[in-house]
Structure 1
Amino acid sequence: MSDELLRTVVKAMAQMISAIDMTTDDEVDPDLATTWFEDVAAQFDGLSDEDRRGLAQLFRQVAAGETQLRLREAMMSIPESFGLEDDEDA
């Protein structure tokens, strides 16, 4: 798998997670969003510590390139929100 493919998939996932996270309760049912996020977190939990740290770094890299402040901030919160790193890893 190429680095470009991996980065593109991570960016798409970050944009999707952030878009869902930034919706109102009227736009997306909070229980449904929670279920989606729990499913994603469960997949991430299956990764090795090294892979979780690498994925966290990729999320931060794609977030850093985001020009919309609100979206960038939401994307930056993904590693911690999804348990990809401990506080001292950030």
Structure 2
Amino acid sequence: PDVQIWIRTSEHPKHCHLVIEDNGPGVSPSDLSHMFEPLVRLNNHRGYIKGTGMGLYIVQEILHQWSAGIQAEVREGGGLRMNLEIPLHS
């Protein structure tokens, strides 16, 4: 099946909310708490996901430098949802 990605944004008085979702294989709910740790590579239904295990850790560190946050959740019906909250500075 084709994996689709959706991106939505909304602006609030003090922050921008960015939501990135897909309908891919997703991750196990037990992996959510570990996926932002350095050198963590998650397992999916086909085995280990390729990569260094640094991507989400680096994204999280950059967002922390901006006083921003990121949170992952399993989508109902499959896939993953990433919620980013980025402060707006004048």
State the TM-score bracket (shorter-chain normalisation): 0.3 to 0.5
Kindly indicate which of the two structures has a greater share of residues assigned to helix.
Answer: 1
Largest Rg, 1 or 2: 2
Relative to the length of structure 2, the TM-score reads: 0.35
The TM-score with structure 1 as length reference comes to 0.35
